[in-house]
Structure 1
Amino acid sequence: MLLLVLPIAATAAGISGVGVAAIRIPDPVGGKLTDGYVFYPSAQPVKGTTAMGPYEVAATIDAPALPGAHPLVVISHGNGGSRLGHHDLATYLASHGFVVTTLNHPKDDFEDTSGVGHLEVLAGRPVQVRSAITTVLADPRWKKLVDPTRIGVAGFSAGGYTSLMVVGAMPRFDRFVSYCAAHMDDVNMCGAEPAFRAEAAKAGLTTQQMFEAMQKQLDKYGPTADPRVKAAFAMAPLSVIFDDHAFDKVTAPIYLYYAQNDTVLRPDFNARHIQPLIHTLYAVKEVPKAEHWVFLTPCTPALAQDIAAMCSDPQGVDRAKVHATLNADALAFFRKTLHIPEH
């Protein structure tokens, strides 16, 4: 254990740069590969930012890695998101001694959302995170840089749900049906309900029966929990489908973050709903006045033009300041729960 701890202690204080490299991750659901990135600490200082699509990333492509056994965090994006949607959190953690892996969730990323609400996404997402961890730990380039005993996960929205699943939370898919029966005005959650009803009817089922059938296939692509993951940082997680016993088997600490005025995943039925159910709750923080999208990385002008609604915040909300606090909270959380010395 000392051999694993000492490299972190010896190098964390001297980190001045962040490297980033592309990685291909096997998708157990579709049988193909999905794209991801690995962010990692480097002694080579970052000079400005690197343009990566519509993002300006504070990392240097293929910079030399700082040797040592570093803790690993996997970040899971939300519905229709991408492997760069939380790059500021990734680079912040990497600049403080972490290796961070991101990935695109197939059929639920910015290029294709055709699987949203279906088993391949609801059960597939946590399995894809498990695959990302396995890939990094087996890759000759990365395995020597990762401490396999110190692994955490972070996620936003559907990625927050994914993070909770990875540490052992158990969903009840049929709760979608009861929620939408009572809250059809929630277009963000229930706008697709008519399409699901038609899909079920085509198979001779009710929506209740369709989701019950999905529940029985929860482990179709493999276990959704990963005992290698020791902590979860969940931002505005999709939580409607967790019931009173969803967290019974969870042992990992969970940090719950949410936006006060979230209209996409209403807090009363999502974050606030699960807060009293999580017996391993490390901390909870509400971002005042904020909307759902505050957890996405502050946007470049190009991105703000492409996805204006997701890049703007209500009056009184400074996304850059929110992220400065959030990133520091995530770092402190993972340092504490993964037992990492600060110096």
Structure 2
Amino acid sequence: MRRCIQNVTLLVTCGLASMAGAQMPVGLMAVDTREPVTDTAVPAAVFYPALASGEHAGSVMAGPYRVEATSGAAPAPGRHPLLVLSHGNGGTRYGHHDLAVALARQGYVVVAPEHAGNHHGDQSGFGTDRVLLGRAWQASRALDAVLSDDRLGPHVDAARIGAVGFSAGGYTTLLLAGAVPDFSRFDRFCEAHPGTPELCDPPPAGGMHTLSNPPPTADRRVRAAFVMAPLALVFDSAGVSAMHAPVFLLTAEHDEVLMPSANGDHLRSLLPDLAGSREIAGAGHFVFLAPCPPPLVDALPHLCVDPHGIDREAEHARIAADALAFFDRYLPAEG
């Protein structure tokens, strides 16, 4: 079993060393589930350690991305830890495929739901509690779908479950870990910072409160939470007081979408006992998305082009090392 100490520099070093060793082939499969409150369909991609199939690892096209995985490959024997990976506002289940593949190569099963009402093809729930709470319910159902899958479920260790998320997905991960949002903080933020893109301009069209007596969003199965540039302005000290899982926080120095003082830095101040924390110097918000293929660079430069001096591929190697070392520490195998 790999072990790394909590110091951030050594944590990353340990993760990089682990990733440099033998790596497993990766399989890719789809699971479908339904969000329990609104009965909305939620498709998900699952990346998992697979049996070797020939000399070379396979790859498949998933939207604009080439994913380094073999579709439908047989799962590797053994019982593996399980992570749920939550994309950001308007994202996709493949938007962090490189991180999912990197973790699957090291023995993790990673399920990435495409959040209903808040993905690239459907923003109908943007700004509503149907999404802002439903994301967590959808993530929990994605975990259920993997655990109950006839083919993959027997290869998952249900005692070792974690969560990963970016932006609104980071917020989702915090919900799973027990954080409770205060949506009135949105109003106060927008009064102080009117015109903030995505949060305050344009304002949500659906109305924040659409559900009556919504169930809790915490998932006690989630034992570790890795968050990247999270939406965190909706949390206060009371809202994080019941969190049950350790947190690793990654932020970008020049986050142009989620103001650091109100989000990443704010969360850091609320969680003085973070398991780990790192800021990517000089980077903007979207550095956490998978490196873009050329068609996406041309079509969506604001998502794909980083500030001068930022090497997204190199940063993603460090992010994967951070995540691997963190989860190896907090989701250890027995023995």
Report if TM-score (shorter chain) is over 0.5: yes
Q: CA deviation at 1:27?
A: 1.8
Candidates 258, 261, 269, aligned match of 1:268:
261
What corresponds to 2:72 in structure 1? 62
2:312 to 319, 340, 343: 319
Distance 1:54-1:29 versus aligned 2 partners, 3 A rule: farther
Q: What is the identity, as a one-letter code, of the residue corresponding to 1:309?
A: H
Deviation digits for residues 49-86 of structure 1, max 9, x if unmatched? 32222001111111121011100001000000010000
Q: What is the aligned partner in structure 1 of residue 127 from structure 2?
A: 117
Q: Distance in 1 between matches of 2:198 and 2:139?
A: 25
Deviations 1:100-141 (A, max 9, x none): 101100110010111111011011000111111111111211
The C-alpha deviation readout for 1:279-304, integer Å capped at 9, x for no partner, is 54111110111110000001111222
Contact 1:70 1:97 in 2 (8 A): yes
Paired residue for 1:30, among 38, 47, 51? 38
CA distance in 2, matches of 1:336, 1:88: 21
2:227 is matched with 234
Report the secondary structure of 1:262's partner residue: coil
Structure-1 residue corresponding to 2:188:
178
Verify the 8 A CA contact 1:251 1:280 in the aligned structure 2. Answer: no
| Identical-residue share of aligned pairs (%) | 42
Counterparts of residues 218-297 of structure 1 (less than 5 Å):
220=214, 222-297=215-290
CA contact 1:267–1:273 (8 Å) conserved in 2: yes
Matched, 1:164 2:164: no
Quick one: structure 1 residues 15 and 287, their matched pair in 2 at CA, closer, same or farther if it must change by over 3 Å?
closer
Q: Which residue of 1 aligns with 2:18?
A: none
Structure 2 gaps of 5+ residues are 1-20
Give me the whole-angstrom Cα distance separating, in 2, the residues matched to 1:150 and 1:263.
35
Larger radius of gyration: 1
2:183 is the alignment partner of 1:190: no
Amino acid at match of 2:315: V
The match for 2:322 is: 329
| Aligned amino acid, residue 224 of structure 2 | A
* Equivalent-residue separation in structure 1 for 2:221 and 2:272 (angstroms): 19
Greater helix share, structure number = 1
In 1, Cα distance between equivalents of 2:57 and 2:82: 24
TM-score, normalised by the number of residues in structure 1: 0.87
> Partners of 2:51 and 2:172 in 1: how far apart?
33
Equivalences for residues 132-143 of structure 1 within 5 A: 132-143=142-153
CA contact (8 A) 1:262 1:291 kept: yes
Instruction: Give 1:72's aligned amino acid.
Output: L
Select between 104-113 and 48-57 the one with higher mean Cα deviation: 48-57
Amino acid across the alignment from 1:40: Y
Between the aligned partners of 1:111 and 1:85, the Cα distance in structure 2 is: 13
Q: Is the 8 A contact 2:91 2:120 kept in 1?
A: yes
Instruction: Give the Cα separation in 2 of the matches to 1:111 and 1:137.
Output: 27
Q: Say whether the 8 Å CA contact 1:256–1:283 is kept in structure 2.
A: yes
Counterparts of 1:305 and 1:14, CA distance in 2: 36
Length, aligned pairs only: 313
TM-score (norm 2): 0.89
1:129 aligns with 2:139: yes
Deviation at 1:48, TM superposition (A): 5.5
**Is the contact made by 1:167 and 1:227 (CA closer than 8 Å) also made in structure 2?**
yes
1:90 to 100, 117, 122: 100
Deviation at 1:192, TM superposition (A): 2.2
Question: Partners in 1 of 2:23 and 2:303 — Cα distance?
Answer: 32
Moved more, 157-166 or 307-316: 307-316
- Distance in 1, matches of 2:59 and 2:149, equals 27
Contact 2:166 2:288 in 1 (8 A): yes
Moved more, 130-139 or 99-108: 130-139
Unaligned runs of 5+ in 1: 1-12, 201-210
1:16 aligns with 2:20: no
